[in-house]
Structure 1
Amino acid sequence: MIRGIRGAITVTKNDADEMIAKTKILLDEMIKKNNIEAENVAQVLISVTDDLDAVFPAKAMRLLEGWTYVPVMCMREVPVVNSLEKCIRVMMTVETEKKQNEIEHVYLEGAKVLRPDLFSQQ
């Protein structure tokens, strides 16, 4: 079955090193919690809020061993008024035997406010 796995994390400033480090933390946690193997990943979409433009956060995925051939794309998040700032969001499309309610979406740091209903399960 093909499933989507969501994740998000915030950074403190528009800094390339911090954005890559925090994105890697998020990806590592998504992979660990859902037992993901790169071979089973169809694609990874990464969005950033308008206040983040120091680096493509997809560079963090290239630090993961074995993830060289996984397609990844970065984009801008819709700039909704009063939305969470300095946020990096990930949508990973994977092949898994898990049921939809067994997928562990990951929301870290300030991004916990995006889906408190899911965060309470972690």
Structure 2
Amino acid sequence: MGWRVRAIRGATTADSNTESAIRQVVTELLDELSTANELDPTEIVYVVFTATPDIDAIFPAAIARQRLGWDLVPLLDVQQMVVPGSLNHCIRVLIQFNTPLTQAEIQHIYLRGARFLRPEWSLSTVGTRPQ
């Protein structure tokens, strides 16, 4: 079928609004997404991170920019909508990239507390169900 532009979704939650906690979970999420989808930074079209309003100690894109080969990747951070009862300390990512993988082969990954957002895409059992 050849190469196509595809998108990967992922999400995670931080234990707290600290630079170290956010760095840990963003790195974990990007590592899992990169490994599962054989991401080549030179084939990434762009990456959009969203964060709930209670996450502001560091930009997730600043963490991604420090990854090997990601310095030229277009990165953007935006704030998620405020919806009553939604998950706190949540960071989501949308990665658009060029790949020979089919849509069915793309592995979306939801970690920690975010695994309850899309249970069918959950990879990890780390964390607890949000209240």
| Superposed pair shares fold, TM > 0.5 | yes
Q: CA deviation at 1:61?
A: 0.9
Asked if residue 113 in structure 1 is aligned to residue 128 in structure 2, the reply is no
**Helix, strand or coil for the counterpart of 2:95?**
strand
The answer for the alignment partner of 2:51 in structure 1 is 48
Which stretches of structure 1, 4 residues or longer, exceed 4 Å deviation after superposition?
Answer: none
Measure the CA separation in 1 of the matches of 2:95 and 2:47.
4
The answer for the alignment partner of 2:30 in structure 1 is 27
Which one is further off, 9-18 or 34-43?
9-18
Per chain length, whose mean CA-contact separation is higher, i.e. which structure has more relative contact order (CA < 8 Å, sep 6+)?
Answer: 1
Q: CA deviation at 1:117?
A: 2.0
The answer for the alignment partner of 1:92 in structure 2 is 95
Q: CA deviation at 1:42?
A: 0.3
Q: Is 1:20–1:59's contact at 8 Å kept on the other side of the alignment?
A: no
Measure the CA separation in 2 of the matches of 1:119 and 1:17.
23
Task: Give runs of aligned pairs for residues 56-95 of structure 1, distance below 5 A.
Answer: 56-95=59-98
The percent identity for this pair of structures is 37
Measure the CA separation in 1 of the matches of 2:39 and 2:120.
23
Relative to total residues, which structure has the larger helix share, 1 or 2? 1
With the length of structure 1 as denominator, give the TM-score of the two structures: 0.94
Aligned-pair Cα RMSD in Å: 1.1
Unaligned runs of 5+ in 1: none
**Helix, strand or coil for the counterpart of 2:64?**
helix
Alignment deviations for residues 47-93 of structure 1 (CA, whole Å, 9 cap, x no partner): 00011111111121122111110010001011111111100101000
Which one is further off, 82-91 or 16-25?
16-25
